[in-house]
Amino acid sequence: MVHDEAALDLDAAYREAGVDAVLAQLDDDLVGLVPVKTRVRELAALLLIDRLRSQLGLTTEPPTLHMSFTGNPGTGKTTVALRMGAILKQLGYLRRGHLVAVSRDDLVGEYVGHTAPKTKEALRKAEGGVLFLDEAYSLHKPENERDYGSEAIEVLLAAMEERRDDLVVVFAGYRDRIERFFSSNPGLRSRVGLHVDFPDYNGDELLAIAERMLATRGYRFDDEARGAFAEYLGHRMHQPDFANARSVRNAIDRARLRQASRLVARGGTVTRDDLTAITAADVRASRVFAG
């Protein structure tokens, strides 16, 4: 058996790339989402191995790094795109690794000749990093012959090919609508190499997210409030307009408003415990259950 004397220290390369720190930050940022985090780790591993292959003179073919993130609102798509940019910078695939989040209004103009410059300006800002397009399918409006969204798509497609070495475009939104969007233009699907589906959070994960949000703001649930919030989640999370972590954040904000109103109405002195504790009454207030 012939052994190649050239060898690289994979563990050292992994440490030097600093990927672990970014992945740890992703774990800190987001509760759950195990399938998503697994895909991110798989991509990081592939890119690291490709870099080592290149160092040994082996053939490498950088994967297409444009992506689609599908899932309901509030499932962490923007946060993962941000961390993905940091990983790609650490591994040398992007110069800056920053995130530029845009919507249809940032790309599509209101008159002839307005759309291409707007889209190119967004792409210029994203150079060296990630362009994150939420509700990407809003660009495609076949029922409106005078809509300029198709022009924005063509500019994006050209940039995704010409600048693929220094730009990553992420299309985000509901899975079924993204699928129809890709089907409307074969060039879109062929340029997107990584598809990541973001599952909804379960009740335990949403409760953990709520407690984390409170902690970062210097609050906490008291013993009864935790159960009351779990009850709220059971009531709310199966409704069609529920937006996962986004709805949890809104509910937390309403609970804080209720707590503040309760304390001011009571008057007198307040303790540190008074100012940090969210009670079951705060959670059960009608305004909390309203959204």
Domains 64-198 and 203-289 belong to one CATH topology: no
Q: How far apart, in whole angstroms, are the C-alpha atoms of residue 96 and residue 93?
A: 9
Residue spans per domain, the chain: 64-198, 203-289
Query: 203-289: what fold?
Result: Helicase, Ruva Protein; domain 3 (1.10.8)
Q: What local confidence, expressed as pLDDT, does residue 82 receive?
A: 94
Q: What values do phi and psi take at 238, rounded to 5?
A: -100, 5
Q: How far apart, in whole angstroms, are the C-alpha atoms of residue 43 and residue 32?
A: 18
Q: What local confidence, expressed as pLDDT, does residue 3 receive?
A: 47
Q: How far apart, in whole angstroms, are the C-alpha atoms of residue 209 and residue 92?
A: 32
Picking from 122, 21, 129, the residue whose alpha carbon sits closest to that of residue 66 is: 129
Q: The tokens 């012959």 sit on which residue? A: 145
Picking from 124, 127, 156, 126, the residue whose alpha carbon sits closest to that of residue 140 is: 156
**Are the beta carbons of 83 and 91 closer than 8 angstroms?**
no
**How many C-beta atoms surround the C-beta of residue 9 within 10 A?**
10
Q: What local confidence, expressed as pLDDT, does residue 124 receive?
A: 96
Q: What local confidence, expressed as pLDDT, does residue 161 receive?
A: 92
Residue 47 half-sphere exposure, CB side, CA atoms within 13 Å?
23
Q: What values do phi and psi take at 89, rounded to 5?
A: -70, -45
Q: How far apart, in whole angstroms, are the C-alpha atoms of residue 15 and residue 198?
A: 28
pTM of the model: 0.86
**Are the beta carbons of 289 and 235 closer than 8 angstroms?**
yes
> Can you read off the two tokens belonging to residue 137?
């399918």
**Are the beta carbons of 31 and 201 closer than 8 angstroms?**
yes
Residue 134 half-sphere exposure, CB side, CA atoms within 13 Å?
16
Radius of gyration for the chain, computed over Cα atoms and rounded to the nearest angstrom: 23
CATH class of the domain whose range is 64-198: alpha beta
Show pLDDT as tens, one digit a residue, over the chain (291 residues): 344 557 888 888 888 888 888 888 888 888 999 999 998 888 888 888 888 888 888 888 777 899 999 999 999 999 999 999 999 998 888 999 999 999 999 999 887 778 999 999 999 999 999 999 999 999 988 776 667 888 999 999 999 999 988 999 999 999 999 999 998 888 888 899 899 999 999 999 999 999 999 999 999 999 899 999 999 999 889 999 999 999 999 999 999 999 999 999 999 999 999 999 999 999 988 555 555
> Can you read off the two tokens belonging to residue 269?
């002195």
